[in-house]
Amino acid sequence: MIKYFIYLFLATVLCLPSSGFSADRDYLGTPGSEKAAERALEWLAKNQLEDGSFGKATLGTNAAIVGFAGLAFLAGGSVPGRGKYGKNVKIAGDYIASIQSKDSKTYGLFGRTMYEHGFATVAICEIYGMSRNEAYKKVVQDAVNLILICQNQKGGWRYSPRIADDDVTVTSCQVQALRAARDVGIVIPKETIEKATAYLLSCSAANGSMSYQPGQGGGGIERTGAGVLSLMALGDYTSKEVEKGADFVLKSGASEASNHYFYGLYYCNQVMFQKGGEYWKNWYSQVRETLVAIQKGDGSFTSNQYGTVYATALGAIALELPNGYLPLFER
């Protein structure tokens, strides 16, 4: 498996497609979706505080949610200190770095859970990669070190920042963080990669979906998108589990009625983007139109469970995906 990971890194650097990856991706943005993306970014910028957080808004100080906002600004073409939202990216990164734990028991942790930590690590890696701000380098390394020491023997991770049991959703966001870290030069041990890959493969059910934990049967579209994209991040584009998982996502479709709609789009959109061709066309055209239709008049999106900042940031990322600006999205 490590040979795939190395090849994937070279393919990314050289902007060449890796084995099993389709570069056949039409630009599927429209004037309407582009305008919707800009309105979402404007809402985020208007509601971001000077410290980089979103204050008293639902989950407004959560490191993962601030990280999603930072990723949205990056995906819109801004980088730390440059572009229309350059300041917003920078202060998002500064906020994430500022709340990293220095406690000996949780050293390197962003927030309280590995969920929050994983997504925040993705964001700080991307912000570091776009800025090469040396102040972020140790922050990134400490975040990665925590992930590495919390992996269990089966290759998975769980909610708490310690070795425990495991599930595919928490494991997926750690894998995404490790891939983002690898792309900015952090060394990830071969054993970590191989164990994570084996764990994700063990969660694949007969119908192509991903179970919550190994052997529990099928799962939903959001969980499946997370698991499949994470296998791709580890270099696996061609296994039967990846192929069947992508087919399951495409056939299932995304439902805006789901409490996890925006979370699912974060993963599933990228799976279809990586697959390209008819997968990308058939999937994204519907997603794009749904997002444009459900956007609020002020440019925001809403999630009853996780709040407006969360939904608006992930909605913006979904609308911006055709641009391919983030290294995380470009394989």
Q: What six digits make up the tokens of 252? A: 């299932």
pLDDT at 109: 98
Angstrom distances, CA of residue 137 to CA of 107, 140, 144: 15, 5, 11
Separation of alpha carbons 225 and 70, rounded Å: 22
Going by the DSSP 8-state scheme, the letter that residue 157 receives in this structure is: B
Instruction: Classify the phi-psi angles of 276: left when phi > 0, otherwise alpha if psi is within -120 to 50, otherwise beta.
Output: left
Distance CA 274, CA 297 (A): 32
Rounded CA-CA distance 246/137 in Å is 34
Per-residue pLDDT tens for 312-322? 999 999 999 99
Look at 327 and 240; give whichever has higher pLDDT.
240
Write the pLDDT tens digit of every residue in 25-44: 889 999 999 999 999 999 99
CA 135, 138, 139, 145: dihedral to nearest 10 degrees?
A: 170
d(CA 316, CA 193): 30
- Please, which pLDDT band fits residue 3 given cuts at 50, 70 and 90? very low
pLDDT of residue 25: 80
pLDDT at 16: 28
d(CA 111, CA 67): 12
pLDDT tens-digit map of 76-132: 999 999 999 999 999 999 999 999 999 999 999 999 999 999 999 999 999 999 999
Model pTM score? 0.92
Chain segment 209-246, per-residue pLDDT in tens = 999 999 998 899 999 999 999 999 999 999 999 999 99
**What domains sit in the chain, N to C, each tagged with a CATH number?**
2-9+28-329 (1.50.10.20)
* Backbone dihedral angles phi then psi of residue 166, each to the nearest 5 degrees: -155, 160
The pLDDT score that the predictor gives to residue 68 is 98
Host H or E run for residue 47: helix 31-47
Residue 2: what pLDDT? Answer: 36
